């Protein structure tokens, strides 16, 4: 794929559909269908707000978008007026993530425990199944990550998750979600691994400096 004409972004208003202002509309529709079909089940029942601040859509174009999304069980919503206002800008700034500021948790997180922090989170212990770490920035686990981790929770797509043993129930980075495959007997990770978003997918690689 040469370029991204279409992107889904997680914001305070929920999922937002962004369209490239320069692209041909037919390319946008094609890419949208392709993207959605790659992760079919995930989109069922999701409502997305059409962001029109950069590209205005004609009514028939909107209908076309709606049609494609309807095929995947999604709904399209128009952006409410007040979202594009000065208040929004200020709000965004208050959500600025301070990734250099990290919370250090000196213990293992057990099922039902959860850590929420606007910056990055470092866990000196394990994150067990049923526990949850949500960070505005990166998540670093000096132990086994077996629960749910959400890095870049306010939309930072370049946030990463690093763990000595990366075996999460579910990984989320910004608005991307991935989970372990169902019946695969995955090889146990042999060393520290890093998860990050590449080409709109969460990818996992072994971590070496």
User: Which residues of the chain form contacts with other proteins (CB under 8 A)?
Assistant: 41, 44-47, 111-114, 129-132, 148, 169-170, 177, 179-180, 182
Q: Whole-number minimum distance, CB 205 to other proteins, in Å?
A: 20
Residue 70 or 112 having the CB closest to other proteins: 112
Residue 28 or 145 having the CB closest to other proteins: 145
Q: Which residue in 209, 139, 175, 180 sits closest to 8, CA to CA?
A: 175
Q: Whole-number minimum distance, CB 39 to other proteins, in Å?
A: 13
Residue 28 or 131 having the CB closest to other proteins: 131
The contacts found for 83-91 with CB under 8 angstroms, 24 or more apart, are 83/13, 83/49, 84/53, 91/12
Q: Whole-number minimum distance, CB 198 to other proteins, in Å?
A: 21
Measure the CA–CA gap between 32 and 66, rounded to whole angstroms.
11
Q: What 3-state DSSP class applies to 24? A: coil
Exposed e or buried b per residue across 134-155, where buried means at least 16 C-beta atoms within 10 angstroms of its C-beta: bbbbbbbbebbbbbbbbbbbbb
Q: Whole-number minimum distance, CB 167 to other proteins, in Å?
A: 11
Residue 132 or 193 having the CB closest to other proteins: 132
């Amino acid at each position: 794929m040469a370029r991204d004409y279409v992107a889904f972004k997680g914001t305070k208003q929920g999922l937002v559909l962004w369209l490239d202002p320069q692209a041909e509309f037919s390319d946008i529709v094609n890419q949208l269908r392709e993207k959605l079909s790659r992760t079919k089940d995930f989109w069922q029942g999701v409502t997305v707000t059409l962001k029109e601040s950069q590209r205005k859509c004609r009514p028939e174009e909107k209908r076309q978008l709606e049609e494609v999304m309807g095929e995947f069980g999604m709904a399209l919503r128009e952006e409410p007026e007040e979202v594009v206002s000065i208040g929004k800008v200020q709000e965004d700034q208050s959500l600025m993530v301070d990734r250099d500021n990290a919370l250090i948790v000196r213990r293992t997180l057990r099922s039902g425990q959860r850590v929420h922090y606007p910056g990055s989170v470092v866990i000196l212990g394990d994150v067990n199944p049923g526990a949850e770490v949500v960070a505005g920035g990166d998540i670093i686990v000096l132990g086994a990550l077996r629960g749910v981790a959400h890095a870049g929770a306010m939309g930072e797509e370049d946030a990463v998750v690093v763990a000595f043993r990366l075996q999460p129930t579910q990984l989320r980075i910004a608005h991307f979600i991935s989970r372990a495959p169902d019946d695969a007997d995955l090889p146990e990770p042999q060393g520290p691994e890093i998860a990050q978003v590449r080409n709109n997918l969460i990818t996992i690689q072994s971590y070496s400096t």
